[in-house]
Amino acid sequence: MKQKLRLIQRRTVHYLLVVTYWISKFFPVQTKKVVFATYRSDKLVDNFRAVYDELESRELGFQYVFLLKRFPQNLIGQIKYVFHMMRATYELATARYFIIDDYYYPVYVSKLRKGTEVIQLWHACGAFKKFGYSVLDKSYSPDDDYLKMVAIHRNYSKVYVSGEACIGPFAEAFGMDSTRIHPLGVPRTDQLLNRERQVQIEHKLYDRYPEWRSKKLILLAPTFRGNGQTTAHYDQELDFQQFREQLGPDHILLLRMHPFVLNRPVVPAEFSNQIIDMTDYPDINDLMQVADILVTDYSSVIFEFALLKKPIILLVNDLNAYREERDFYFPYESFVPGPIVSSFNDVISWIKAGQFEPEQIEDFAARFFTYQDGLATKRIVNHILTGALPDAPMRPEERKTV
C-alpha cells in the first residue's frame, strides 16, 4: 500500500510538471535568461558562483534567475517544494541557458524547446562512485516504476567534466552520447590553483584560528552511507583520545561531514581545542588549502585534493559492502592515490610515519584533470557561449622543452 501511494504521488508531481511545461511554452524563450538551479544548496556557491562571476564580468546583458533550494525533509516542506519545481519548470521552458550541478527532476519531464540548453556542471570532479544508469543492477538505483516514468539525465545539452578519463563513465551514467561530454575542467577548482587566493584564505582562517598557524591540520571529509538524503549516515568510529595521545597537541583534526549526514560525530568538550567540527563552514576549498593531509573514503574530494599534491589517506571499513551496493568505475584498491586503512588508529599510525608517495598523487591528478591551469571557468563559459573548444594542453614532457 505504501509503495502504491508513493507511485501515485510521483505520477501526480510528474504530470503537474508536464502540464506546467506545456502551458509555459506559450511564453517565448528569453534569449538573455540564464537560470541556476540546484537542490544541493540555498546559496550561490562552488561551480555556480564561478560561472556566474565569469558571465557577469563579460557584461553580456544576461538576466539571472536563481533557484537555490535544498530538498526538505519534512512533509510540509516537500509539498511546498512541488510548487518550487513548478516554477523551475516554467523557468526551464523560457530560459536560454538552464544550468544545474546534479540530478534535477524538472529537466527530465519534457522535451527541451528549441533555443534552450541545459548545462550540467556536475558537482563532483573525476569519476569515482557509480551513479545514474551505471547502477541499474544495484540497490542504489532508482526503482523500475520511476525509470519508466522519466528518462533521468538524458536531457542535457552539454556536460562538463574534469578530464578525458571521465567521459566514458559519465556517458554511461547519463545514458547519452559522449560527444556532448567535454573534459574542460571543473570551475570551482580554479580557486585551488590560484596562489593569490590561497594566501588570502590562509590569512582569513589563521586570523580566525591563530593556533592553526603552527599546527599540522588533518582534514577528515568522508562521504555518507545510505541511499540518499533521507537515509544518509556515517558510522566510522573516531577515537579522539588516541588522536590526542598519539599525535600530541601539534595536530588538529578538522571534521567535515557530508551535508546530508544527520548523525555527526559528537566532540566532547575536553577535545574541542583539537577536534573541530567544520561541517558548517561554507567552503571546503578553504579547508583543503590549509590542510596538510586529507582523510576520506569514497568521496570525490580526493580529486580536488590531488590537485594540491598533498597526502591522502583512505579510511574504509566497509569496502566490500559499498562495492556491492554502489560500486566504482575503476578498481578501488589500484585506483585511489594513497594508503587504504580500516580503522582510525591506522590513520594515526600513517600520520606518525609520514611515508607517502607524492608521485602517486601527481599521476592521479594528471589522469583525471586534462587541464591544471586554473582556467576551467573561462574555458567552459567560452564553450557554452560559442561552442569553441580550446587547444589540447601540453603534456608534461612537452612543457619541459618550452
> Which residues are within 8 A (CB) of 5 and not within 5 positions of it... i.e. 6 or more apart?
none
Q: Can you tell me the mean pLDDT for 169-188?
A: 96
Q: pTM value? A: 0.90
Q: Does domain 191-368 have CATH number 3.40.50.280?
A: no
Average pLDDT, integer, range 298-314: 96
Model pLDDT for residues 123-176, shown as the tens digit of each residue: 999 999 999 999 987 776 677 677 777 888 989 999 999 999 999 999 999 999
Each domain of the chain, given as residue ranges in start order, spans: 2-189, 191-368
C-alpha 32/C-alpha 48 separation (Å) is 17
- Cell numbers 589540447 correspond to 392
Q: Is 245 exposed, middle or buried (0-12, 13-18, 19+ CB in 10 A)?
A: exposed
Inter-axis angle of helices 75-94 and 2-24, nearest 10: 30
Class of domain 2-189: alpha beta
Task: Fill in the DSSP letter of residue 274.
Answer: T
> Could you read off the pLDDT of 354-368 as tens digits, one per residue?
999 999 999 999 999
Provide the 10 A C-beta neighbour count for residue 151. 12
Intrachain domains 2-189 and 191-368 with the same fold: yes
